[in-house]
Amino acid sequence: MNKDAILSRLRSQFSLDRATAKVLVVGLGKTGVSVAYYLRQLEIEFAVVDSRDKPALNDELLDKMLDVPVFTGGFDSSLFKLATHVVVSPGVSMQEPVIQQALSQGVIALSDIDLLACSVNKPIVAITGSNGKSTVTTLLGEMAKADGVKVAVGGNLGVPALNLIGEEVELYILELSSFQLERTTQLNATVATVLNISEDHLDRYTGMDDYIKQKKNVFAGDGVMVINADDADVLKMQDATRELLTFSLDHSADYHIKQTEKGRFLACKDQEILAVNELAILGRHNQANALAALALGKVVNLSEPGMCHALKHYKGLKHRMQFVADIKGVRWVNDSKATNIGACTAALQGFDGKKIILIAGGDAKGANMSELLPSLVEKVQTLLVIGKDAELIKQAVKGLVPVIEVGTLKKAVKTAKKIAEVGNIVLLSPACASIDQFENYKERGKLFSSEVEALM
């Protein structure tokens, strides 16, 4: 789309007129900087504010745009009073008093996803869920590439949404978090999915109902809905007036697992697509991810051969059920991305038998850790707990699984080495955020992998 067409859409959808708009970009992270570049290209007046004294990307922005007003060290209410519009980055809560005050006085809120939706006229795939969204997003991207489609993949994952915009792009695939969706009103994706729902980010929401409500925003508009028939909360989101595709591991659905004399197959309406044992990604939950990707790909006209090629070669993302090593008959698996209960449960259920030494713990973010108990009892031989909420997990276990408090990840690896026997799986799947001891889940996963490799 050309500049005039984009400006026309922004004026129509958000009363954002280049001649009169004063946009305040709240948050100077990757998203905030991408918004700044976008507004500059459209010649829309804006300023930037961040509560931190020296945001990490402050210098980058100032180097590129010396004339942009940048305010740091707090949220000055006078800045918000001058604004006609605010673009609030996902890392900033919409419940900040100064933001709520501005909205009550008529300031219009929009998001980077809204800006993208007003700026492109090619199909958009929107993917959210408590778990698996990064895997499905990148897998679908690989399917599109295998089919020769010029695809742009990002959003919550990797490249900020606005940096994806390009004249050559034929398909946009977006991973979207609840924080992005809660401030987005104009997304009308060609096809969208909520992969699953489990407790997460309850430190930012009033409860599960609020969290689910934000996830459901991905279905705004009239595009095709892809629904997980195995998740009761997702099933409730379906709209009888919309085109619908379902996927399931256990129930009747459009995309499902078919048992045959030759083995188990990914299937669509009982037509075999690919043998499960040909998938490059492991675990039962990844079979569900593959089914979801097939459904999404079908809607945007990806070919079955191209999608199958990707399924046979896509090995998943780092820190997500990543095989690290087999040391004397003990397998070590890095699932540091499992920052909530649902992700940890999915990881545990992907293995047969009760042979897992699980390393879990960190910042539970207010979640009810007792929800882990059934999977722990079924799959875990010994539980090693680390981090801020280790005691919380130990209490939730109620003595039904042997627990060792080790405190740190380094000590967890050393302890696991001592107690592991041939056939065991040592699994880092924390069920908690990493921010109590690490910068992020990637740093946690890298430390785990390096400690395991040091054992070899």
Q: For residue 228, give the nearest of 143, 288, 286 by alpha carbon.
A: 288
Phi and psi angles of residue 192, each rounded to the nearest 5 degrees, phi first: -140, 155
Q: For residue 298, give the nearest of 382, 226, 202 by alpha carbon.
A: 226
Asked if 6 contacts 38 with a C-beta cutoff of 8 angstroms, the reply is no
DSSP class of residue 340?
A: S
Q: What separation in angstroms does the CA of 265 have from each of 239, 246, 255, 268, 321?
A: 29, 16, 10, 10, 21
Catalytic residue (one of 30, 85, 122, 201): 201
Has 156 been annotated as catalytic? yes
Q: List, as one string, the DSSP characters of 49-88.
A: EESSSS-TTHHHHHHH-TTS-EEESS--HHHHHH-SEEEE
Asked if 70 contacts 59 with a C-beta cutoff of 8 angstroms, the reply is no
Q: What is d(CA 179, CA 167) in angstroms, rounded to the nearest whole number?
A: 28
Query: Which residues pair with residue 227 across a beta bridge?
Result: 194, 246
DSSP class of residue 143?
A: H
Catalytic residue (one of 131, 156, 163, 334): 156
Asked if 335 contacts 429 with a C-beta cutoff of 8 angstroms, the reply is yes
H-only helix segments in 94-216: 97-104, 112-117, 133-146, 178-181, 208-216
Q: What separation in angstroms does the CA of 24 have from each of 79, 364, 426?
A: 8, 33, 48
Phi and psi angles of residue 50, each rounded to the nearest 5 degrees, phi first: -145, 140
Q: Which residue has 């997990």 as its token pair? A: 393
Q: What is d(CA 186, CA 49) in angstroms, rounded to the nearest whole number?
A: 24
Helix %, strand %, coil % of the chain (to 5): 35, 20, 40
Has 201 been annotated as catalytic? yes
Q: What is d(CA 304, CA 255) in angstroms, rounded to the nearest whole number?
A: 13
Number of Cβ within a 10 Å radius of residue 302? 23
Q: Which two tokens stand for residue 383?
A: 């539980």
Q: Which two tokens stand for residue 238?
A: 């379906």
Q: What is d(CA 419, CA 49) in angstroms, rounded to the nearest whole number?
A: 51
Q: For residue 125, give the nearest of 182, 78, 71, 164 by alpha carbon.
A: 164
Query: Which residues pair with residue 264 across a beta bridge?
Result: 259
Q: What is d(CA 321, CA 286) in angstroms, rounded to the nearest whole number?
A: 10
Has 319 been annotated as catalytic? no
Catalytic residue (one of 30, 85, 122, 133): 133
Residues with a catalytic annotation lie at 133, 156, 201
